[in-house]
Amino acid sequence: MENQKNTDHWRKRSIMLRFRVNEDEQNLINEKMKLYKTNNLAAYMRKMAIDGYIVNVDYSDLKAVAYEMQKIGVNINQIARRVNSTSRMYEQDFEEIKMQVDQIWRLLRTSLSRDIKVTRGNNR
């Protein structure tokens, strides 16, 4: 055991824990790992042993907001180029930006109103 400690000095986690499970328990662990989209058994077991749960977050709403913000950024750049070249700003430009900002606020309100799903380790 002493040799193992000497060779593991470079590891972030040098202490190894081991335990046994039956086939049904192993299948249940594998199912839950698939549910949490992980293939790393050590990381999964460590997280469950320490925290007792894993939080799955759906980022699709935030991705939609980021996409809308990117579109607004592109539109603002186009408007800025036009204003710089013509020295004129059009009412339609303001309305387009206002509509897109309103869309972002709707997406944010929808996103924030949803609960984060917390799945506890002892749920089956």
Q: 28 lies in a domain?
A: yes
Residues 112, 70 share a domain: yes
Q: 121 lies in a domain?
A: no
Residues 67, 40 share a domain: no
Domain that holds residue 73: 60-116
How many Å from the N-terminal Cα to the C-terminal Cα in the chain?
Answer: 37
Q: Report the percentage of the chain scoring pLDDT > 90.
A: 14
* Total length of the chain: 124
How many domains in the chain? 2
- Residue found under tokens 């579109």: 71
Residues 36, 7 share a domain: yes
**pTM of the predicted model as reported, rounded to 2 decimal places:** 0.43
Residues 109, 78 share a domain: yes
**Looking at the chain, which runs of residues are DSSP E strands?**
53-56, 117-120
Q: 122 lies in a domain?
A: no
Q: 102 lies in a domain?
A: yes
Residues 105, 64 share a domain: yes
Please tell me the distance from the alpha carbon of residue 58 to that of residue 56, in angstroms, as a whole number.
7
pLDDT in tens, 56-113: 777 787 788 888 888 888 888 888 888 888 887 778 877 877 887 887 787 777 776 6
Q: Report the percentage of the chain scoring pLDDT > 70.
A: 82
